[in-house]
Amino acid sequence: MALLPILRYPDPRLHTVAKPVAAVDARIQRLIGDMLETMHDATGIGLAATQVDVHERLVVIDVSEDHNDPIVLINPEIVWASDEKQVTDEGCLSVPGIYDGVERAQAVKVKALDGQGKERIIDAHGLLAVCIQHEMDHLLGKVFVEYLSPLKRNRIKTKMLKERRQAERA
């Protein structure tokens, strides 16, 4: 396994719409392992392939306290979302250090393939539901800051660009 570089907002590649995974083969299984290692190393709870510059519909999630219960979603599709909404402070490995409230469905039902290519349905509530919706947005080329006001989004963009310039100089 290997740590993968995570794209940082406002990198335009984060806005690429992911294509379906054609086959769950050794390449995808290696990518799953690399993504899980990368997510855990960055102390995240979710990572979409888009964030590591692989534009295929693959998400890894682990919201367990011990970070030992990973969920793999290949070609995920939300088949139901609750009418009840909740606002949760979200963060993102592609927008480090930034957290803000985003309104999402409290519960979702997702159909996807697992890491072995078997179909599964997940009924998700609370943090898992939020995480699934957040990561699936990445597959559509959407970053959570796009839910924020233009003023907040521009401030975040300016901050991220400044941090990138400082890192390049160091």
CB 12 within 8 A of CB 63: no
- Distance, in Å, from the CA atom of 59 to the CA atom of 74, rounded to the nearest integer, reads 6
Bridge partners, residue 125, by sequence: 107
Question: Is 131 annotated for ligand binding?
Answer: no
Give me the catalytic one of 77, 84, 135, 163.
135
- Tell whether 55 is in a known binding site: no
Contact, 122 vs 129, CB < 8 A? no
- How far apart, in whole angstroms, are the C-alpha atoms of residue 58 and residue 52? 11
Rounded Cα distance between 68 and 141, Å, is 28
Q: Is 92 annotated as a binding residue?
A: yes
Q: Is 135 a catalytic residue?
A: yes
Active site residues: 135
Binding residues for Fe cation: 92, 134, 138
Binding residues: 92, 134, 138
